[in-house]
Amino acid sequence: MSRYRVEVRVMPRATLLDPQGQAVQRALHALGFGDVGDVRVGKHLVLDVQADSRDEALAHARAMCDRLLANPVTEDYDLAVEAA
């Protein structure tokens, strides 16, 4: 068993309005960062996972996302796994 660092990035579905992102964009514009286009706000989770291999860690993390960490109706996610 080895330890893996799993990073999960959860983002609101591209087709859904993201009011948080819009508010951040307006605030950035107000600060003079007029070059900022679309802003979207998501979540970043970092998990310490025990597994036999990197693939197993990835498979477990995917199961965690599908069951709990992301809601398939409203969110998309992607994963990055590296040895801890």
Partner 1 sequence: MARVAVVVFPGSNGDADTLAAAREAGSEAYYVWHRETDLQRADVVILPGGFSYGDYLRSGAIARFSPIMTAVAGHARAGGPVLGICNGFQILCEAGLLPGGLVRNARLRFLARPTWVRVEATDTPFTCLYEKGDVLEIPIAHGDGRYVADERTVAQLEASGQVVWRYVRDNPNGSTHEIAGVCNAARNVVGIMPHPERRNAPVLGGQDGARVFHAMEARHATQHAVDVRAVGDRHLRV
- Residues contributing to the site for partner 1 (CB under 8 A): 12, 16-17, 19-20, 23, 68-69, 71, 73-74
**Smallest separation, CB 23 to partner 1 (Å):** 6
**Smallest separation, CB 68 to partner 1 (Å):** 7
Tell me how far apart the alpha carbons of residues 82 and 68 are, in angstroms, rounded to a whole number.
21
Tell me how far apart the alpha carbons of residues 39 and 30 are, in angstroms, rounded to a whole number.
14
User: First vs last Cα of the chain: how many Å apart?
Assistant: 12
Which of 12/51 has CB closer to partner 1?
Answer: 12
**Smallest separation, CB 35 to partner 1 (Å):** 24
